[in-house]
Structure 1
């Protein structure tokens, strides 16, 4: 999977100001975290370039470019589920402004669990409309995720293990509970991401990664 570019993650499980992994004053580890999926644009998928002719990669052949920006995230529990939505703007630019033109671009919204397991993917499209004489256009897109609240919540036994008070003379006082295999596995299972980006061809991905 591509490296992720963090954009937003909101709505903590409690009002505690501490974050997951921070030591608290009692000698435990704070386990405050979000049940909301983290929202991100995978590297090299946040913009797209169309060429004319399509096979050319010369800068003079660039026909249309577009990029995603202004990502806005909403997330809230709804019954036994957590519903998240990412809204974003798509801004496009074209070379030839002689005539009015509509350009349709595909994009994906994918829900990933544990950093590597895709549990849902949807392909959608946004349409950019350029008036005659207009070089720039703007439109909006959105992607959503519905996640089980139970799946996104750490088991109580794991939270207790992380938060357990430790004294300086305890045998495991210097051992980070977050590094325990069962804790790491539980954190992975309860972690979800909502990824949005342009649905690119392999050639378009290579262009974005190497330009």
Structure 2
């Protein structure tokens, strides 16, 4: 499963032209038809996709590890037909404990956050997932989900930016061979209108430091 940082690259546009995706239509002038969805990219935020619990009173050493859990099997769904864009992430938490003796339940906190433009947190929610270890078993798993809403207007490109991308350019025009996506104004507008739904464990400072430095 791929993890991503909060500062993400620009979301790619899917280009569909009459002569083929991304091709130049020289018969009627040079141009692209850009298709784009307001649905966010869904991913696990880097550094928070796993959590390690240590035995009480022990240090953060390999022989004092109590439980290790990981977010996996992330699946995204999105409905952009309503007044708000609704994005949902279903995932599984898989865990392993060091001591398999006795039945035990472990509850772990996780978060979901909607991020706009790669850096701006629009919304954040906290959830919990409970893992039930059977006696004699050192592995357990449980399903979990996260969701978020996005304003369609915020995810839409301004009309002037759409015109820059889709405007027909005839052979011989000064900008006929120029990629509109190379225009800094276009790239900035796409960045602002791009959203991510990120999930991860709600870590303490010590847990986050452990993930980063181990």
**What TM-score do you get using the length of structure 2 for normalisation?**
0.84
Tell me how far apart the structure 1 counterparts of residues 83 and 108 of structure 2 sit (CA, whole Å): 34
The corresponding residue for 1:150 is: 153
Structure 1, unaligned runs of 5 or more: none
The corresponding residue for 1:59 is: 62
Residue 68 in 1 paired to residue 71 in 2? yes
After TM superposition, the structure 1 = structure 2 runs for residues 1-211 of structure 1, keeping only pairs within 5 Å, are: 3=5, 23-26=22-25, 27-53=30-56, 55-211=58-214
Report if aligned partners of 1:106, 1:199 keep a CA contact under 8 Å in 2. yes
Cα 1:174–1:78 change in 2 (3 A) is: closer
Structure 2, unaligned runs of 5 or more: none
User: Structure 1 residue runs of 4+, over 3 Å off?
Assistant: none
Tell me how far apart the structure 2 counterparts of residues 39 and 72 of structure 1 sit (CA, whole Å): 8
Tell me how far apart the structure 2 counterparts of residues 163 and 100 of structure 1 sit (CA, whole Å): 61
Tell me how far apart the structure 2 counterparts of residues 186 and 54 of structure 1 sit (CA, whole Å): 51
Offset, 1:134: 1.4
Tell me whether 72-81 or 132-141 shows the greater mean CA deviation: 72-81
Tell me whether 66-75 or 181-190 shows the greater mean CA deviation: 181-190
